[in-house]
Amino acid sequence: KSRVVELPLARKQRFMRDDAVERPREHRTIKVTLRGGKRTGDIVLEASQLAVGFDAQRPIVTAEDLEVDRGDRIAIVGGNGVGKTTLVRTLLGELKPVGGSMLLGANVSIGYLSQTHEHIAPQLTVLDAVQSARSGITVVFARSLLGSLLFAGNDVLKRVSDLSGGERSRVALARLVVTGPNVLMLDEPTNHLDIPSTEIIENVLKCFDGTVIFVSHDRYLIEAVATKIWALLDGCVKCVRGGWEDFAKWRDARAASAAAPRVGAETR
């Protein structure tokens, strides 16, 4: 029979502390709040007979009428290559519409987070990337903010070009925090992020006191955040109120309606 050896209490405590098991490490998560700047007007953006793309004769996306109201959280959805990013770049003003008109409302200040983060100069350090986003940002403030986004110690001295996709996303988020836009335009904001960080981003967007327009394939993010959906279907923008479940019901009903005549024809 094996014999159980009882350790004196003091030795047992030291053994459990130092040798028995590694103490669990606290899981680090993003801790950041994003607040909008100056309040916009009631209408953030209006567009009429909008056509976007690179050729007026063959636009990529068209929309009869689009309206963004203050406080909207609009998810842009659609398959790969249908023009979601092109639409966002047009709304940003980076691309001119190839048809129709678009007008921004009063006091609109847009913050953009792209999939590729091309707006962040790759030669900058993480610290420089944050400080260059707005004048007057001190090293102490920038380091504190970056710490809340999981950049510890000398991590802030890494060059942007050497960062992973998730790290670049966090730098871009830090730049949004310091610039304080009242309208966010985000292209796949949870790409490259782990699940805890994705959940934090969901909460950040839900608590943001401005307006959000975001491209995403993440139905959980869409359901958690969106109040409207712009679906890019057959080259047109279809507007649906609600989140992912509301959109899925609308999409299924649309598909059933389109299929109904063919079913009837087959049964005759």
User: Could you give the CA distance from residue 101 to residue 29 in angstroms, rounded to a whole number?
Assistant: 43
User: Which tens digit of pLDDT belongs to each residue from 256-266?
Assistant: 888 877 655 55
User: How distant is the alpha carbon of residue 124 from its chain centre?
Assistant: 23
- At residue 193, the pLDDT reads 78
- At residue 100, the pLDDT reads 96
Please give the full DSSP string across 12-41, using - where no structure is assigned.
HHHHIIIII-PPPPPPP---------SPP-
The two structure tokens encoding residue 170: 């966090």
- At residue 10, the pLDDT reads 57
User: Could you give the CA distance from residue 247 to residue 257 in angstroms, rounded to a whole number?
Assistant: 15
Q: pLDDT below 70 — which residues of the chain? A: 1-29, 262-268
User: Could you give the CA distance from residue 12 to residue 215 in angstroms, rounded to a whole number?
Assistant: 56
- At residue 8, the pLDDT reads 58
Residue matched to tokens 């934090």? 200
User: Could you give the CA distance from residue 75 to residue 253 in angstroms, rounded to a whole number?
Assistant: 20
- At residue 21, the pLDDT reads 47
